[in-house]
Amino acid sequence: MDREILVEKLQGIVGKNGVFTRPADLLVYEYDGSVDGAVETATPSAVALPTTAEQIADIVILAREAGLPVVARGAGTGLSGGAVPQQGGIIISLTRMNRVLEIDREDRTALVEPGVINLELSEETLPHGFFFAPDPSSQKACTIGGNVAENSGGPHCLKYGVTTNHVLGLEIVLPDGRIVWTGGRSAGVSGYDLTGAMVGSEGMLGIVTKALVRLTPSPESTLVLLAPFADIESASHATSRIIAAGIVPAALEMMDNLTIQAVEPAYHAGYPMDAGAVLLIEIDGSTDDVRGTGVEIAALCVESGATEVRSATERAERDLLWKGRKMALGAMGRLAPNYYLHDTVVPRSKLPATLRRVEEISRDFDLPIANVFHAGDGNLHPLMLFDRRVNGSTERVLEASKEIITYCVDVGGALSGEHGIGTEKRGYMTLVYTADDLAAMAGLKNSFDPTGMFNPEKLFPKGYMCGEVRALRMQAMAQKLGIHAL
Amino acid sequence: MDREILVEKLQGIVGKNGVFTRPADLLVYEYDGSVDGAVETATPSAVALPTTAEQIADIVILAREAGLPVVARGAGTGLSGGAVPQQGGIIISLTRMNRVLEIDREDRTALVEPGVINLELSEETLPHGFFFAPDPSSQKACTIGGNVAENSGGPHCLKYGVTTNHVLGLEIVLPDGRIVWTGGRSAGVSGYDLTGAMVGSEGMLGIVTKALVRLTPSPESTLVLLAPFADIESASHATSRIIAAGIVPAALEMMDNLTIQAVEPAYHAGYPMDAGAVLLIEIDGSTDDVRGTGVEIAALCVESGATEVRSATERAERDLLWKGRKMALGAMGRLAPNYYLHDTVVPRSKLPATLRRVEEISRDFDLPIANVFHAGDGNLHPLMLFDRRVNGSTERVLEASKEIITYCVDVGGALSGEHGIGTEKRGYMTLVYTADDLAAMAGLKNSFDPTGMFNPEKLFPKGYMCGEVRALRMQAMAQKLGIHAL
């Protein structure tokens, strides 16, 4: 289809001011929050900004006629390249679908459009006594639709679970233009859990146009503890002891010395500059319970070698302690011009050994690595600091990443805790999955999107989806049945 | 394939004592916990009792050669006919795969075979300080594999969530005989959430051969409150107030007068015989917190009209209060020879109106209906009492069921909270889902099981899966695109 005709038709669907086509406008949509140079990208043909599910269905059908891929996009804060248009095509930006349609206090649910900003949903529901629990560090900017696509987490997911635990139902536009509803308005589900299959599918199976999400009651009381340790080892040990004691803190975050060096001078959160690591622990619940658990955790920290334990209950004090953690990425600019943030998970019991290995890799590759992460659920976030302008530095970072990822998988971990696979980690999927495992996933993709039109070149290893899937399945089957080609 | 050859080959896979073929043995496998006469069934060709995933893969490949359906079965306690062989074929009984393979204290997980009995897993992990949270009333008999297939719930799912919230990864035999692993050993997931798609898929997509499940820390303290009310209305009101206060009890169960009439004389749990309804409320957590929350709940109950509030903290007392609830089904025999238990969900806010409607239906159909249910999450369990030997009584029960289900769906509810759709409710799926919604589900089924070999005649409305799916999809697509047949 001629580009001019395409644009005209898009304008017919979403109106003139709902389509971006100028090169300067399109440039922005080639990127997301992932590291430039680590992810392939391409210029989209056009960006459409629909306001209804019906408009999205019409855009999808138009894209199909034009033979163009479709990439859905929220705020573009993703770190794995999930919203990057690797083969161009039409970008569907969901930022104009940003209404909270309904808050149901008694049923503790909210019906929202995909472009609603994560933090704004919590702000809107707080007066009703509720909040939306998943809280990615980008929560001031990222959207619920993006959270659903990546199954996003955040510090408080230790206690409250990730996005999939908070989505009850979804309205979705499928690759054939149909609009379907998955799940229910109440606790029960009828039939296959399509909502579960959709959450975390990275925009490859459908485009979310409405989400019915669970709201969580605001706790009566919240306590934040800061415990500095001489080294990472003893902070890890304290983490293990807290969890093994059966305590479930709302959040349990660790920052190492390098992170403190970046953060403390910037925000004066009160982290001791000479600490090898600090733990930031939040507990919430009833006032009595919080007080009791706080004392228990403090004792475990001191027994594990904490040099002191500071506590904050007032909002302003708590926010200050958290500020250093939440703004850690922003502060890294003080240490190096660029950073590459990884997201891998290891079984909690493997944390100390994994952190030692990360330190070795840092030495081997002569690459400073800051660690600021969700210790409570074993979700590492090694931050590699570098300068892109130095020749070969990006390549070195990617090499070091490979070492880290391989190690984490070897000790029984996962490729991603909350950032998704996207295009960043597709090459690593075979580390975790066999050909048969991947074929099962590809079968799911094929059932929703047989032509591979939604968000191509994501999640599956390169070359994997180009018609090879059926061949692979047949081959596996033939092997299993003992059928051999003559 | 000749039946004798089939049996011989099955014996070759699982050994002579791993195959049942005598009519008396097969008869048992025609039924599950669902009401006889409400569910169609057929005699299976054979029952195989494998002990490894590889044996299951071989049985599946054999069944494919023989053109026979395969139905996986746990303890057969299901209430929606999910394990009933509607078209005969090979039953794969998983009861011999009943080992707890691994308990990981630090990572709070257990790796189990599908035939492990729900309660036994908790009993085995309790000494380590953990339990497996989903607790169907049949937990003394039902298996983890069955829980996964039906996404089972139970009283404590109000606080802890249903089975899907406690499954981290699954080993599965697919309909083509491949053995795949979904999910991870740690908190993170890489790629599509096939685990989520598999949980609740009622044995139609794959057969679970291993499950990695999450263990929950045992609470420090547990308190059970019993609050009798003059009528269901005020008990419902108390429920709403407790939930709206932001309290999340571990369980919040309601029993009406008819249930009390059956239960109290049988178990002497101490429910007042003249109460219109009782609430049974469990709170767990730290000792201080439990005490405080207990007082708060008691106050809300009294304000809503509770005639008294009794509390129990000691295990024996708590168990006695619970016994009446957990054994309620068994006690119904005191009131009538047969019962039909329904499982529907309504938004919590619609509970009082729904219970009034159930009362009306009870009058209209001259059918005693006892209500014993998970009030906290709006999950109704109307129990219709009847005598099968009376002509037309089963039909009357099914008519009344239809009225109840239709009403629940009309007020925004779901067909099932925890019992699944199976064959029992497949006819109602179109009440909740559009043709497009169902086609999306059918697409999922087709991607895993294109020949419809695993557990046929379940979940989808009758006739739906007989090759019509592709036709329906094409038709929906053609309509959407404005393509009309000439």
Question: DSSP of B321-358, one letter per residue?
Answer: HHHHHHTHHHHGGGT-SEEEE--EE--GGGHHHHHHHH
Distance CA B98, CA B116 (A): 4
Residue with tokens 């509770």: B306
Question: Which chain B residues are closer than 8 Å to A482 by Cβ?
Answer: none
Full pLDDT tens readout for chain B, 486 residues:
899 999 999 999 999 999 999 999 999 999 998 877 777 889 999 999 999 999 999 999 999 999 999 999 999 999 999 999 999 999 999 999 999 999 988 888 999 999 999 999 999 999 999 999 999 989 999 999 999 999 999 999 999 989 999 999 999 999 999 999 998 766 566 788 899 999 999 999 999 999 999 999 999 899 999 999 999 999 999 998 998 888 889 999 999 999 999 999 999 999 999 999 999 999 998 888 899 899 999 999 999 999 999 999 999 999 999 998 988 888 998 899 999 998 999 988 899 999 999 999 999 999 999 999 999 989 999 999 999 899 999 899 999 999 999 999 999 888 998 899 999 999 999 998 888 888 889 989 988 998 999 999 999 998 776 555 555 555 555 556 665 544
CB B143 within 8 A of CB B117: yes
- Here the tokens at position A264 are 């403390």
* Cβ distance of B421 and A190 shorter than 8 Å: yes
- In this prediction, what percent of chain B has a pLDDT beyond 70? 94
CA distance A291 to chain B (A): 10
Reduce the DSSP state of residue A184 to 3 states and report it: coil
CA distance A148 to chain B (A): 12
Distances, alpha carbon B28 to alpha carbons A82, B22, B44, B84, B333, in Å: 51, 11, 10, 10, 22
Comparing C-alpha atoms, which of B37, B84, B198, B137 is closest to residue B379?
Answer: B137
- The CATH code belonging to domain B100-217 is 3.30.465.10
Question: Which chain A residues are closer than 8 Å to B173 by Cβ?
Answer: none
- The pLDDT of residue B15: 97
CA distance B416 to chain A (A): 6
> What count of CB pairs under 8 Å joins A to B?
283
Question: Which chain A residues are closer than 8 Å to B222 by Cβ?
Answer: none
Summarised one tens digit per residue, pLDDT across range B46-100 is 999 999 999 999 999 999 999 999 999 999 999 999 999 999 999 999 999 999 9
CA distance A451 to chain B (A): 14
- The CATH code belonging to domain B3-93 is 3.30.43.10
Beta carbons within 10 angstroms of residue A8's beta carbon: 11
Distance CA B152, CA A400 (A): 44
Question: Which chain A residues are closer than 8 Å to B220 by Cβ?
Answer: 246
CA A427 to chain centre: 18
Indicate the pairing of strand B19-20 with strand A382-386.
unpaired
Distance CA B162, CA A356 (A): 37
Give pTM, 2 decimals: 0.88
* Cβ distance of B186 and A413 shorter than 8 Å: yes
Question: Which chain A residues are closer than 8 Å to B473 by Cβ?
Answer: 176
CA distance A107 to chain B (A): 6
* Cβ distance of A349 and B437 shorter than 8 Å: no
Same fold, A3-93 and A100-217: no
Q: Which residue of B has its CA nearest to A174?
A: B440
End-to-end CA distance of chain B: 44
Phi, psi for A222 (deg, rounded to 5): -135, 135
* Cβ distance of B196 and A164 shorter than 8 Å: yes
- The pLDDT of residue A189: 65
Distance CA A210, CA A169 (A): 8
The β-bridge partners of A69 are: none
- The pLDDT of residue A252: 96
The partner residue sitting opposite B429, judged by closest CB among A190, A240, A476, is A190
- Here the tokens at position B296 are 């708060």
CA distance A201 to chain B (A): 5
Comparing C-alpha atoms, which of A463, A398, A400 is closest to residue A430?
Answer: A463
* Cβ distance of A441 and B196 shorter than 8 Å: no
Distance CA A195, CA A211 (A): 10
CB B128 within 8 A of CB B217: no
Helix or strand (DSSP H, E) at B301: helix B287-303
* HSE-CB of B428 using CA atoms within 13 angstroms: 27
Mutual orientation of helices B232-244 and B351-364 as an angle, nearest 10°?
A: 160
The partner residue sitting opposite B186, judged by closest CB among A187, A188, A414, is A414
Distance CA A18, CA A58 (A): 14
The partner residue sitting opposite B444, judged by closest CB among A197, A246, A349, is A197
CA distance A481 to chain B (A): 7
Question: Which chain B residues are closer than 8 Å to A444 by Cβ?
Answer: 192, 194, 197, 444, 447
Question: DSSP of A272-338, one letter per residue?
Answer: -TT-SEEEEEEEEESHHHHHHHHHHHHHHHHHTT-S--EEE-SHHHHHHHHHHHHTHHHHGGGT-SE
CB A344 within 8 A of CB A408: yes
Helix or strand (DSSP H, E) at A386: strand A382-386
Best residue in B192, B449, B483 for a mutation probing chain A (most A CBs within 10 Å): B192
Radius of gyration over alpha carbons of chain A, in Å?
23
Distance CA A270, CA B203 (A): 55
CATH 3.90.660.10: does it fit domain B219-335?
Answer: no
The β-bridge partners of A167 are: A213
- The pLDDT of residue B485: 46
Question: Which chain A residues are closer than 8 Å to B244 by Cβ?
Answer: 105-106
Burial of residue A307, with CB atoms counted within 10 A of its CB: 0-12 exposed, 13-18 middle, 19 or more buried: middle
Phi, psi for A458 (deg, rounded to 5): -125, 155
CB B202 within 8 A of CB B455: yes
- The mean pLDDT values, 10 residues at a time, for chain A of 486 residues are 94 97 93 80 95 98 96 95 94 98 90 98 95 94 97 92 93 95 71 91 97 94 97 93 88 96 92 96 90 94 96 92 89 91 89 94 96 92 93 92 94 89 92 88 90 94 66 56 52
Question: Which chain A residues are closer than 8 Å to B197 by Cβ?
Answer: 192-194, 196-197, 444
The answer for residues whose C-beta is within 8 angstroms of residue A157's C-beta and 6 or more apart is: A133, A134, A135, A374, A377, A418
Distance CA A465, CA A93 (A): 25
CB B247 within 8 A of CB B218: no
Distance CA A139, CA A14 (A): 28
Residue at B311: amino acid letter: S
CB B273 within 8 A of CB B289: no
Spell out the domain ranges in chain B. Answer: 3-93, 100-217, 219-335, 433-481
